[in-house]
A and B are shown apart, each in its own frame.
Chain A
């Protein structure tokens, strides 16, 4: 029954015998047109079909009382709000993933470039001592070798001497500490968990589609690293920053390429892991709300095993 048409085209007569009924709505029922609560409105039987109806005193719309009582407009608003909040959460998770994976890649590059940074810092300190210039670490009580990477180096000095220092160091790739590659292990664990997370939260799509998001994040991390790695050196930079900029253009894509297969593995195994955990942890009755993990992949919800 189209209540709106009834209101505007053929308003049902509510007078005569029908108007004699004295029943009224004694509970909540919102008007389908304006949401006004019809509590206390008279209930009548319209004369064409003998249907129970009530009229909204605000907009005059007829409410068919045999249908579901419409809830307020806030239900739809809440639905939109929940959907919007979910999208915001996903975007936030996307940013967090970029930050976590990006930080891992950055720290890996930093630790690998540390020996060269120390070499640059040491060279500058020696040069400064010979020329009577103060450095940022001369004020410190002690100047052990480990702090050389934190020394601030003027950009013009770096432009002049950097190639020479790298050549003295034996090139970029000959002297870096290979034991730092072990940092890849925690990076893999984080990458795998990231993949599992996206596989679970992006249930609407297949694992192949869900994989697009972490791949996009990885590409974005590489792009951001390229944008960030060579800022214009106007005044001074720490030796560690200068050394990192030399390595990052090569190490960042390599680190991402190492992590990407593990992320994809997480994406493809994520739902299987979720199903296993749910089946293991929850009793059969409580598994029902999570049935989407099975039904979405065309599987049947596991039947309870009787002991």
Chain B
């Protein structure tokens, strides 16, 4: 049930009448149906408090989602370079000849490209307020950190293996393998850049839809104002 709002002139209950922003000052005005007095609907400070809390939660949610998207896209880029390394590079870390790649692996390549395109496109949409170059850099930072982390973990595992004498069969990636991963990472970076450019178009599409929705809402409000006055 709405909160009570009494007309100060004729004491009529105005709570059920919708407050429409007036055309001059944008104040939420209610016209009393009995005495035609214009009353401003003010909000209780407690209501403002809860509204602020809701806004804060919305921003926190947006922040979390944006960071998650960045980490996921960065992780996909780094993870795909790790996954594709044994398929497309040899033991020395060099790229294989196209003829020597198994045909079944091309599907894997296509899937990897799709994932990277999707991830980088999502990053561009999430960072729509940033320049293209900045968004690209934002994607590159976590993925580079992940690739470096791969090295660090390898080194750490090696150290722990030596020190604690545990898991003697644990496979630690060799230097040529790491080199192969880095090469695949560079290759996928180009794919990510294409994904970023595709993200720009996706962004424009979203903005156009959003504008249409906003203009629809504006038309609705104008209609109400015309009815009220």
A residues near B (Cβ < 8 Å) are: 21, 23-29, 38-39, 43-45, 52, 65-66, 68-71, 75, 79, 111, 146, 177, 179-180, 182, 277-278, 280-284, 286-290, 304, 307
Contact B13–A26 (Cβ < 8 Å): yes
Q: How far is the CB of B77 from chain A (nearest CB, A)?
A: 18
Contact B4–A29 (Cβ < 8 Å): yes
Contact A283–B129 (Cβ < 8 Å): yes
Chain B contacts with A in 39-58, Cβ cutoff 8 A: 42, 44-47, 49, 52, 55-56, 58
Contact B66–A52 (Cβ < 8 Å): no
Q: How far is the CA of A69 from the CA of B15 in the complex (A)?
A: 11
Q: How far is the CA of A52 from the CA of B49 in the complex (A)?
A: 27
Q: Given A177-B163, A282-B66, A23–B59 Cβ distance below 8 Å?
A: no
Q: Which of B11, B45, B70, B134 has the most CB of A within 10 A?
A: B11
Q: How far is the CA of A66 from the CA of B131 in the complex (A)?
A: 50
Contact A68–B42 (Cβ < 8 Å): yes
Contact A289–B15 (Cβ < 8 Å): no
Contact B8–A23 (Cβ < 8 Å): no
Of B11, B56, B138, B163, the residue contacting A23 (CB under 8 A) is B11
Q: Given A146-B165, A179-B163, A289-B55, A282–B62 Cβ distance below 8 Å?
A: yes
Q: Which residue of the partner chain A has the closest CB to B43?
A: A68
Of B16, B44, B66, B70, the residue contacting A68 (CB under 8 A) is B44
Q: How far is the CB of B114 from chain A (nearest CB, A)?
A: 26
- Inside 8 A of A284's CB, which chain B residues have their CB? 129
Contact A25–B4 (Cβ < 8 Å): yes
Q: Which residue of the partner chain A has the closest CB to B50?
A: A75
Q: How far is the CB of B139 from chain A (nearest CB, A)?
A: 12
Contact A24–B8 (Cβ < 8 Å): no
Contact A182–B159 (Cβ < 8 Å): yes
Q: Given A52-B6, A282-B59, A289-B59, A27–B163 Cβ distance below 8 Å?
A: no
B residues near A (Cβ < 8 Å) are: 1-6, 8, 10-13, 15-16, 42, 44-47, 49, 52, 55-56, 58-59, 62-63, 66-67, 70, 127-131, 134, 138, 159, 163-165
Contact B46–A75 (Cβ < 8 Å): yes
Q: For chains A and B in complex, what number of residue pairs have CB atoms within 8 angstroms?
A: 104
**Please, could you name 12 A-B residue pairs with CB atoms under 8 Å apart, sorted by A?**
A21-B11, A27-B4, A38-B4, A65-B11, A68-B45, A69-B3, A278-B63, A281-B127, A282-B62, A286-B58, A288-B55, A289-B56
- Inside 8 A of A71's CB, which chain B residues have their CB? 3, 44, 46-47
Q: How far is the CB of A62 from chain B (nearest CB, A)?
A: 14
Q: How far is the CA of A24 from the CA of B66 in the complex (A)?
A: 50
Of A66, A75, A282, A287, the residue contacting B6 (CB under 8 A) is A66
Contact B8–A52 (Cβ < 8 Å): yes
- Inside 8 A of B130's CB, which chain A residues have their CB? 280
Q: How far is the CA of A268 from the CA of B130 in the complex (A)?
A: 27
Q: Given A68-B45, A179-B159, A179-B163, A27–B1 Cβ distance below 8 Å?
A: yes
Q: How far is the CA of A54 from the CA of B134 in the complex (A)?
A: 60
Of A26, A43, A44, the residue contacting B15 (CB under 8 A) is A26
Q: How far is the CB of A151 from chain B (nearest CB, A)?
A: 17
Contact A66–B66 (Cβ < 8 Å): no
Q: How far is the CB of A68 from chain B (nearest CB, A)?
A: 4
Q: How far is the CA of A111 from the CA of B163 in the complex (A)?
A: 9
Contact B63–A282 (Cβ < 8 Å): yes
Q: Which of A38, A52, A69, A281 has the most CB of B within 10 A?
A: A281
Contact B67–A281 (Cβ < 8 Å): yes
Q: Given A177-B163, A281-B66, A287-B59, A27–B13 Cβ distance below 8 Å?
A: yes
Q: How far is the CA of A62 from the CA of B127 in the complex (A)?
A: 54
Q: How far is the CB of B198 from chain A (nearest CB, A)?
A: 19
